[in-house]
Amino acid sequence: MTLPAVQTPSGLAEAWIYQQLANDATLRGLIGSQLYAGVAPEGATYPMVVVQYLSALDTTAMDNSRVLTNLRYAVHCADRVGSILGLDAIAARVDALLHGQRNFAFTSGARMLNCQRERPIVLFNQVAGVPTREVTNVYALVVQEVVDT
């Protein structure tokens, strides 16, 4: 997964999520290199994890400068229907890596104040004729901007 080197709140948050997931040996042992941003490429194999940006809401100061950004990301964990236990282990590992993390300092000076899971969603699909099960966790992240004084 290639991420843009952008210092926006969403760019910082997505890079942080990716680093948390990609640098974990336990998760890599469960999914190999099947970690993607946005959508999985055609021909991707299961199991996989896809990180998807959903939305953002800014909080601004009286001078209209952005001070906080509340972001939502969906982290989709997907596998073939027959391997439910493996999928649950993947989703649980992702949640252990992200949920409850606090006060991460980015090199730009911005901070990720909090990452909390808001809701889990379980879906059954059929992708290219293959029955799949997906556990999607929606995470809320709060990023504090650098404020010049």
* Three-class SS of 93-127: HHHHHHCCCEEEECCCCCEEEEEEEEEEEEEEEEE
Which residues form the domain of 137? 9-38+45-144
The CATH number given to whatever domain includes residue 51 is 3.30.2000.20
Phi-psi region at 128: left, alpha or beta (left = phi > 0; alpha = psi -120 to 50): left
Residue 3 falls within a domain, yes or no?
A: no
Region 96-104 average pLDDT: 93
Q: Does 59 map to a domain?
A: yes
Chain segment 113-135, per-residue pLDDT in tens = 999 999 999 989 887 787 889 99
Domain count of the fold of the chain:
1
pLDDT digits (tens, 9 = 90+) for 1-39: 444 455 788 888 998 999 999 999 999 999 999 999 999
Domain contains 4: no
